[in-house]
Amino acid sequence: MSLIKMENVTKIYHTGEISVTALQNINLEIDKGSFISFIGPSGSGKTTLLNLIGCLDKPTEGDIIVNDVKINLLDRKNGAKFRGDSLGFVFQNFNLVPVLTVYENVEYPLLMVKNVPVSERRTRVLDLLEKVNMLDQKNKYPNQISGGQKQRVAVARALVTNPSVVLADEPTANLDHKTALKVIDIMRQMKKELGTTFIFSTHDPKIVGNAEIVYTLEDGKIVNNKKGGE
Amino acid sequence: MKNIIKIAIRNLFRYTRRTLLTTTLISIGVILVIVFAGLGGSFKSAMIGIITDSMLADVQVHKSGYVETIDNIPLNIFLTENEMEVLQPKLDNNAKIEAYSPRIKFGAMISDYNQTSNIRLSGVYPEKEQATCPTLTDRFSGVSDPINFVKPGEIIIPDILVKGLNVEIGNDVVIVGTNRHGSVNGLSLKIVGVSEGVMGPQGKEGFIHIEDALNLLRMDETEISEVAIRLNRGEDVKIAYTELNQALSGEKSEDGSRIYEVHPWNKLTHFGSIANIVDLLIMMVRVILISIVLISVMNIMMMSVFERTSEIGTIAAIGTSPRKILSLFLAEGFFLGFISTLAGVIIGVGLLLFMQWQPVQFTFGPMENLVLIPDIPIKEVLATSGIVVLVSLFASWQPARKASKLEPVDALGHV
């Protein structure tokens, strides 16, 4: 049984009288515990695809089923609840909340989204910070740590609610190659330890090699899928 | 809630300079309202105190038509003895009334045998007048017995006449008056005191005993031009006036017109309008404060939402409900108002306390060296604080709603 299923998904953006087809008739199934990568040139539809799977946007046509929920039918409130319960996000620009410390940033989804009791919260946050090797930086604010460290914190934040899927849009784009590999390593390790499905988009061919399945997008269509390293 | 408050306060101080500037602006507004209300309110109270406690009392009863021609000091619109007999039980039995004082008011000529001038006089029962206007004798100099401040054969003259006629306490003067029938009469009286002039319709009058007034005006029976009434509680003026007016409204003359007219103090002096202007000015300052809060909080919150659009997208993407995002921004606006109010109240009340310690002296009309000891207007402080906090919430509503309505995908793409 697939964790994610996209059926005939099309996304068209309308700007005034101009219509741009970002995704066209996408059919896709992703199994639980996969480590998937989407590649393709700018404008190929990678971010749109991740946004649709992440319940951040709605398709113009077609259905998207994640965790047995037809997410294209969810309203704003239920969409937010679904994201909080089932999804984790890692962004290209890290997107940590600047007024919160590293610890508080990781704690945020448990506190503001899921209302987890304090003792459990503390255990889970410290455990994840240790896993991403950021425990010693827990009291620092985002402006006091490096880009690579910020992205490790972002990975910990994405995982703290035990989501089924973590979506990462170009997570290594703002990192040097060495740091980027470290972040991908951490993601792989987390996938292995927690069984979480990771889906990320990237430009970096060396990073792509780490994915189990690589989907190539061009002009809003999946033109190729192959096993990582092929 | 605790976490929303924590994040809101941290966000508020994220742009320290901007927040401090806005906080300062709102605080200055709060300080202005508190200090202005404290000073304005105490000025009003002080002046009302002088007017009611030393001149007009709280309410006055006249014969109908008297007040309309009061500037001419009419001699033919007096309450007769019979009319006073009807009035007195109503005053005696009214629990709101502490004391009342019948007065005969008239204009006369005063002469020290060398020079002559005009004088406005009140013929009074001194003990009743003292009970009705307890601070009247504070304005007198030379008076030894405040309860019985003027006896038959004595006169207290206003200070402007002391200078004008070059007389002093102990001198004899002649008062020449004309009664309502045109009959002229004179009376020799001894000056026993000088009254300090104060602002108001009766602020430059002299005082004689009512028996002398009756003799001078050759009255066969005691007729009264006005009855000044002191209430147990000054704040009851409106109610007491209404009740008394209603009680006397049924008393009609043969032609069906009302015999008595009743007036609260503020209808007998222009200071009633000044008091209203003071209230209006306090209200104006309050409106300015509301505008400052509304514009500055809305401005800062709109900027905040715009600058943090991507951050709003992030927290929305990770599952924060629109309601919580709304609460976060409302809390920010609330605390902006609350912190500003707190600072404003502390400084404003501090300034008033300083002015209580170092009172302000001022001159108002003929009254010099008046001391203004400002009140701490607790009601005003609470009302101002409440208004600022509520307006802050109101001003944050639109930006907060905008933030909560942002689509995560659009917000995340905002640069």
Chain A residues with CB under 8 Å of B319 CB are: 80-85, 87, 109, 113-114, 161
Mutate to test the interface with B, among A13, A95, A161 (most CBs of B within 10 A): A95
Q: Which of A80, A91, A100 sits opposite B316 (nearest CB)?
A: A80
Residue in A57, A95, A113 closest to B319 by CB: A113
For residue B323, give every residue at least 6 positions away whose Cβ sits within 8 Å of its Cβ, in sequence order, or none.
A77, B404
Instruction: Return the amino acid letter for B318.
Output: I
Buried (b) or exposed (e) across B129-158, using 16+ Cβ within 10 A?
bbebbbebbebbeebeeeeebbeeebbbbb
Running along chain B, 415 residues long, what does each successive block of 10 average in pLDDT?
A: 86 88 92 90 84 90 91 88 93 94 94 90 95 90 90 93 88 93 93 82 82 94 94 90 92 91 90 85 89 91 92 92 93 94 95 89 71 83 92 94 92 81
| CB within 8 Å of chain B, chain A residues 153-182 | 157-158, 161
Return the CATH architecture of domain A34-59+73-227: 3-Layer(aba) Sandwich (3.40)
CB distance B172 to B190 below 8 Å: yes
Q: Do A77 and B408 touch (CB under 8 A)?
A: no
Q: Is A46 on the interface with B (CB under 8 A)?
A: no
- Residues of B with a Cβ under 8 Å from any A Cβ are 3-4, 7, 10-11, 14, 310-311, 313-324, 407-409, 412
Residues of A whose CB is below 8 A from B323: 77
Torsion sign across C-alpha atoms A217, A222, A224, A227:
positive
The residue of chain B nearest to residue A79, with distances taken between CA atoms, is B319
> What residue spans define the domains of chain B?
2-51+273-412, 65-258
Chain B CB contacts of A80 under 8 Å are 316, 319-322
Nearest-Cα distance to chain B for A38, in Å, is 19
Which residues on chain B are in Cβ contact (under 8 Å) with A110?
A: none
Closest CA to B346 of B35, B43, B5: B35
Partners of B105 in the beta sheet? Answer: B122
- Which candidate in B16, B318, B325 is best for mutational testing of the A interface (most A CBs within 10 A)? B318
For B118, other C-beta atoms within 10 Å of its C-beta total 10
The dihedral over CA atoms of B49, B51, B52, B55, expressed in degrees to the nearest 10, equals 140
Beta bridge partners of B107: B120
Q: Which residue of B has its CA nearest to A100?
A: B7
One-letter amino acid of A77: K
- Beta bridge partners, B173, equal B189
The first and second tokens of residue B335, run together, are: 């605390």
**Spatial CB neighbours of B40, under 8 Å, sequence gap ≥ 6:** B278, B281, B282
Q: What is the ipTM of this complex?
A: 0.89
A112 has a chain B CB within 8 A of its CB: yes
Question: Which residue ranges make up each domain of chain A?
Answer: 34-59+73-227
Inter-residue contact A66 to A3 (CB < 8 Å)? yes
Phi and psi angles of residue B343, each rounded to the nearest 5 degrees, phi first: -65, -45
Q: What residue in B sits closest to A83 (Cα-Cα)?
A: B319
Amino acid present at B41: G
Helix axis angle, B309-317 to B322-357, nearest 10°: 130
CB A13 within 8 A of CB A20: yes
Burial class (CB in 10 A: 0-12, 13-18, 19+), A198: buried
Residue B43: predicted pLDDT: 85
Query: How many angstroms separate the CA atoms of A30 and A13, rounded?
Result: 25
Considering CB atoms only, which of B14, B317, B408 is closest to A99?
A: B14
**Residue B253 dihedral angles phi and psi, to the nearest 5°:** -85, 180
Residue spans of chain A under pLDDT 70? 1, 227-230
Contact call for A112 and B315, based on CB within 8 A? yes
DSSP string, B273-323: HHHHHHHHHHHHHHHHHHHHHHHHHHHHHHHHHHHTHHHHHHHHHTT--HH
Determine contact, residues A100/B7, Cβ cutoff 8 Å: yes
H-helix segments, B308-377: 309-317, 322-357
Tell me how close the Cα of B346 comes to any Cα of chain A, in angstroms: 28
Q: Which amino acid is located at B412 in the chain?
A: L
A12 touches chain B (CB under 8 A): no
Of B4, B314, B318, the CB nearest to A113: B318
Q: Do B409 and A51 touch (CB under 8 A)?
A: yes
Alpha-carbon dihedral angle through residues B297, B300, B306, B312, given to the nearest 10 degrees: -70
